[in-house]
Amino acid sequence: MSGKKTITIRDSSESHFEKGELLSVSRYEDGFYFCTIEVESVTPVLMSELTELHAAQENMTLDELKQVISEIYPGLNELYVISFHIR
In a domain, 27, yes or no: yes
Catalytic residues, by residue number, are 5, 8, 58
- CA angle at residue 32 from 23 to 12, to 5 degrees? 45
* Tally of domains within the chain: 1
pLDDT tens for each residue of 53-69: 999 999 899 999 999 99
CA–CA separation, 87 and 79 (whole Å):
25
Reported as a pLDDT band with limits 50, 70 and 90, residue 3 is: low
In a domain, 1, yes or no: no
78: helix, strand or coil: strand
Structural domain that includes position 38? 7-86
Reported as a pLDDT band with limits 50, 70 and 90, residue 27 is: confident
